[in-house]
Amino acid sequence: MRPISIVGDGASGLARRLAGRLDGRVAVVERDGDSTGGYRPGPEPSDPTADGGTVDPTRRSDADTAIGFDAGGNWSGRGTVGGFDDLLDGLAPDHDYLLAAGKSRLRVPAVLLGPDPDPESVPGTVLATASGPDEVDLDSLVADLDGAEPWVTRETLVRRVEASADAERSGAIATFTGRVRARDAQNDDRTTHLAFEKYDGVAEERMDAVAAELTERDGVFDVRMHHRTGVIESGEDIVFVVVLAGHRREAFRTVEDGIDRLKDEVPIFKKEATESETFWVHRRD
């Protein structure tokens, strides 16, 4: 899924215009103005219709999250999520795009609207700035969004291997998730974040080649890998390896070999920031 934040006056309107230009499943998320800090995905809730097509989720006060579908397959909901990351992770497996109006996030590219937009005011990469939503070049924005880093989750990769043509022959799915470790030992300086840079083009090609070679093993049907880039904070996920196999032994062995080869062979470089210093990990003895 490719997410984008749109911040400033007219953000919701621009999100809806942009949604109409994108191919695939699109989630439009608008930040609520109430004190709960919840998020409202999709179109505005509407009154129930005579044919029972639309449900007004605001009438379900006893529910943590309520979702209504209309006759055209559109949905709306209201609820509380643990944070913007949880929302991104929850929608990523089933959507191609997420357009968030009024909320920005590190590693999510942004559009800033207003008379004097300040790129330093948001943590993510700024794709465009404009005085108002009508000033944004939608064609350029779509192209830039499609070229931005996708938001891939472990669940996304699991669903992809489950859709494999050989899924009926598989008895195991094994996964590996690498995270940002705050410290190795209790007395170590705390790691605040890691920054990853990749050799564009080459990194993707090499990762795809490793996955393809591992898939050729007997009893292995599908291998998926993804390594996030940019700044990743302590406690966040960095890398995923997912293996679909006939039996657990092949799955476990291939997951371990997959992450080892990814770290050894794929040109991705790591800079670590602790409470006391910042350094490139591959340059340290």
- pLDDT-derived band of residue 102, with 50, 70 and 90 as boundaries? confident
Q: Hey, what are 66's tokens?
A: 């309520």
**Spatial CB neighbours of 102, under 8 Å, sequence gap ≥ 6:** 6, 7, 11, 12, 30, 31
Residue 103: band (very low, low, confident or very high) from pLDDT cuts 50, 70, 90? confident
Among the ranges given (68-82, 128-142, 271-285), the one the predictor scored with the smallest mean pLDDT: 68-82
Residue 271 contacts residue 231 (beta carbons within 8 Å) = no
Angle (deg, nearest 10), helices 202-215 and 248-265 = 160
Of 53, 63, 133, which Cα lies nearest the Cα of 99?
A: 133
Q: How confident is the model at residue 185 (pLDDT cuts 50, 70, 90)?
A: confident
Asked whether the predicted pLDDT for residue 80 surpasses 90, the reply is no
- The Cα 110–Cα 256 span in angstroms is 36
Q: Are 262 and 242 in contact (CB under 8 A)?
A: no
The radius of gyration computed from the CA coordinates of the chain, to the nearest angstrom, equals 21
Does residue 17 register a pLDDT over 60? yes
Please name the residues in contact with 70: beta carbons below 8 A apart, sequence gap of 6 or more. Answer: 46, 49, 53, 54
Stretch 26-34: mean pLDDT, rounded? 69
Q: For residue 134, how many other CB atoms are within 10 A of its CB?
A: 11
The model's pLDDT over 209-264, given as tens digits with 9 standing for 90+, comes to: 999 999 999 999 999 999 999 889 999 999 999 999 999 999 999 999 999 999 99
Q: Is 165 left (phi over 0), alpha (psi -120 to 50) or beta?
A: alpha
Q: What is the mean pLDDT of the chain?
A: 83
- Across 98-132, b (16+ Cβ under 10 Å) vs e yields bbbbbbbbbbbbbbbbbeebeeeebebebbbbbee
CB 203 within 8 A of CB 282: no
The per-residue DSSP string of 91-159 comes to HGGG-SEEEEES---TTS-EEEESSS--GGGSSS-EEEEESSGGGS-HHHHHHHHHTSPP---HHHHHH
**What is the three-class DSSP state of 34?**
coil
Closest by CA to 236, choosing from 177, 284, 282, 278, is 177
What are residue 6's DSSP bridge partners? Answer: 101, 111
Look-up of token digits 């998926």: 224
The residue with greater pLDDT, 195 or 35, is 195
Cβ proximity of 36 and 26 under 8 Å: no
DSSP class per residue in 159-171: HHHHTSTTGGG--
